[in-house]
Amino acid sequence: MTPPVIAALIAAGFVAAADWIAVAKADRLFEGIAKPAVIFCLFIAVLLAGPGTSPVRWLLIVALAASLAGDWLLLPPGQFVAGLAAFLVAHLAYLALFLLGDLEARWAAAGLAATVVLLATAGRPILAGARRARLGGPVAAYFGAICAMAIAATASGSVLAAAGAWLFVASDTLLGWDRFAAAPAASPGAEARRRIAVIVPYHAAQALLVIAVLGSPA
């Protein structure tokens, strides 16, 4: 990676930390700037890494652009369904990106096993709550897309890609649990802690996925 790319990645890290502080302090104004700025910095890192002529590079750009749209749409008070659709596009782009590479069957099986465990535990109450909220179809489709992305990332054999994908799954699982399965937060502080538990693995996931793709020989 070139120095400008590394600088953009470092900037993403600093902005992410600032966003976490804003979430902890319930500073919605600053959060509205910092949260999408993290993905914007990662987007710049990808653009600085090269002209983006390969399908993999273009799919990464699509994934980050859709994620940036999703971040804007989910800022409080949030447009949940629209944000869900934006991130669905992001996961499908990531999935296509990994499917372009060589996948290993044994790691795909490991990813599939992890998905089955997830769906049998946290996934069941989340999907049940989504159905009660009349969002069963969209949430099930989203769950399927992100799990397929995580399986493909695991099958790629890249530790960074697999870690990023499963952190993404963890973040969205926590978000889904908070929205559809958990009791309302008892206090503003509890709500802030829940949101931090979602946003920290999300930012780490996006950064790891970008680094994995940019560092790949393909």
d(CA 93, CA 209) in angstroms, rounded, equals 12
pLDDT of residue 186: 82
Question: Residue 10 carries which side chain, given as an amino acid letter?
Answer: I
Tens place of pLDDT for every residue, the chain, 218 residues? 788 999 999 999 999 999 999 999 889 899 999 999 999 999 999 988 876 568 888 999 999 999 999 999 988 777 899 999 999 999 999 999 999 989 999 999 999 999 999 999 999 999 999 999 999 999 999 999 999 999 999 999 999 999 999 999 999 999 999 999 988 888 888 888 999 999 999 999 999 999 999 887 65
Query: What does the block give as tokens for 85?
Result: 């659709």
Q: What is the pLDDT of residue 51?
A: 60
8 A C-beta contact, residue 163 and residue 209: no
Residue 217, pLDDT score: 60
The identity of residue 208, as a single letter, is: L
Where do the H-state alpha helices sit in 28-187?
Answer: 28-49, 55-74, 80-99, 105-118, 124-132, 136-155, 159-180
On whether the CB atoms of residues 63 and 97 are closer than 8 A, the answer is yes
pTM for this one?
A: 0.93
Distance, in Å, from the CA atom of 143 to the CA atom of 165, rounded to the nearest integer, reads 13
Cα dihedral 12→23→173→178 (10° resolution) = -170
pLDDT score, position 1: 74
